[in-house]
Amino acid sequence: MGVKQHRDTPVWAVVTFSILAAIILADLGSKTLSYGPMPLIAAVGPLVVLLAAGWWIGGRGLNYAAASYCLLWGGLVAVTGAGVLNSIVDALVSSFITPVDGMTWPAVIIAAPIFEEVLKTQPVRRFAKRETKQKHTMIAYVWMSAAGFAFIENIGYFTESLNGEYSVGFGEIVVLRSLLSLFAHVSFSTPAAIGAAAGGWRRWFGLAISVALHASWNGMALSDVPLLNWYVTGALPVFAVILSVVCWQRIKGERRVSDMIFNAGVVPGVTEPIAREPMVLNRKQKRAKREWQSASIRVLDAGWTLENLQRASAKRRAFAYSLIKR
């Protein structure tokens, strides 16, 4: 299974991830030397929480290679690409619009939500075409991407606060980004994941909702409304609704997976090894084992559908029967 997953990872992705990782690690190293380890330590906590939550959301349909790809994409490609594009927009409009805390409102309210949500959720639209259509698994993928994005972004905010670039101090920024805004990025991107799983025009409708949620958050942050007021009346209800939807999709999706496994007659699964498999297999047995393994990979990569589970179950039974007919 690992061979196929490795082959599915594009060469350009490996090269891009490696280059961006080297650049970001060098930047993190310089920031650590300048400001100490506190920004990095403060950003690790939210990352661990979101990764654990994303792992739980994905359930048994989660493809570990795809989840790792999404994490790297969000923390390397999406955050770098969005940062560059936002800076370009900010530079273009800063000559006639006064920046607030170093950014102009068109860059914060218009450019950032569009660029960040499009880039963060890109892996989900890709995987939705060729992997499981389970909504909770798609949500898990987008949470991985958003967690990586927020991790790198938080380090930037924390170091900039230590440099005195904001009107609030390091402690206030950590509380806002690590506690109050823990579910911000993942909540924004969840509708795009649900839309990607649904397919068709709903992919773009879900992405539009994600952009709108992100723009609303940024707009409230720039407004004169007190932080506590807009957080309690605006952010918390959105988080509560999104998290409720996520939990329900996970429960419903795992029930559906369990039902399909049971109906396909592969309890507890199709990937467990055959008992008493001999050390040496003849040519027919090797072919039967390869077919069973290929069918199992299809279950993991193409989805926990009844058709895929039945195919894997049949191939597993054929391999077990070939061991008897020696």
What is the number of domains present in the chain? 2
User: In terms of domains, do 125 and 177 share one?
Assistant: yes
Mean pLDDT over 147-158 rounds to: 92
Q: How far apart are CA 268 and CA 192, in angstroms?
A: 32
Q: Can you name the residues that pair with 103 across neighbouring β-strands?
A: 100
Overall average pLDDT of the 126-146 stretch: 83
Q: Residue 265 has what pLDDT?
A: 46
Beta bridge partners of 100: 103
Both 187 and 318 in one domain: the answer is no
**pTM of this structure:** 0.75
Same domain, 199 and 82: yes
Summary mean pLDDT of the chain: 83
Crossing angle of helices 38-58 and 11-35, in 10° steps, is: 140
104 and 166: one domain? yes
Answer for the pair 165, 102: CB distance below 8 angstroms, yes or no: yes
Nearest alpha-carbon partner for 127 in 198, 196, 51, 74 = 196
Closest C-alpha among 77, 99, 96 to residue 87: 99
CA distances from 4 to 127, 185, 271, 297 (A): 15, 31, 15, 8
Banded pLDDT at 66 (limits 50, 70, 90): confident
More confident residue, 260 or 155: 155
- Distance CA(324)–CA(282), nearest Å, equals 12
Q: Last residue of a domain, which of 207, 239, 259?
A: 259
pLDDT of residue 9: 59
Is residue 103 helix, strand or coil?
Answer: strand
CA distance 60 to 282: 33
Query: Mean per-residue pLDDT for 7-27?
Result: 76
| Confidence check: pLDDT of 2 > 50 | no
Closest CA to 155 of 89, 211, 228, 79: 79
Distance CA 140, CA 124 (A): 9
- Which of 225, 242, 259 is the last residue in one of the domains? 259
30 and 168, same domain (yes or no): yes
Q: In 3D, which of 214, 194, 213, 212 has the Cα closest to residue 203?
A: 194
* Angle (CA) 200 201 205, round 5°: 130
Same-domain pairing of 66 and 97: yes
End-of-domain residue from the set 259, 279, 306: 259
Q: Which residues pair with 281 in a beta bridge?
A: none
> 153 and 76 share a domain?
yes
> Domain check: are 205 and 290 in the same one?
no
Tokens of 304: 């926990």
Position 43 confidence tier, pLDDT thresholds 50, 70, 90: very high
Domain of 216?
2-259
Q: Are residues 299 and 232 in the same domain?
A: no
CA-CA distance, 292 to 318, in Å (whole number)? 8
Q: What percent of the chain has pLDDT over 90?
A: 33
Together in a domain, 98 and 173? yes
* Residue 287 and residue 221 share a domain: no
> Does one domain contain both 92 and 215?
yes
Q: What is the DSSP string of 136-186?
A: HHHHHHHHHHHHHHHHHHHHHHHHHHHTT-SSS-HHHHHIIIIIITTTHHH
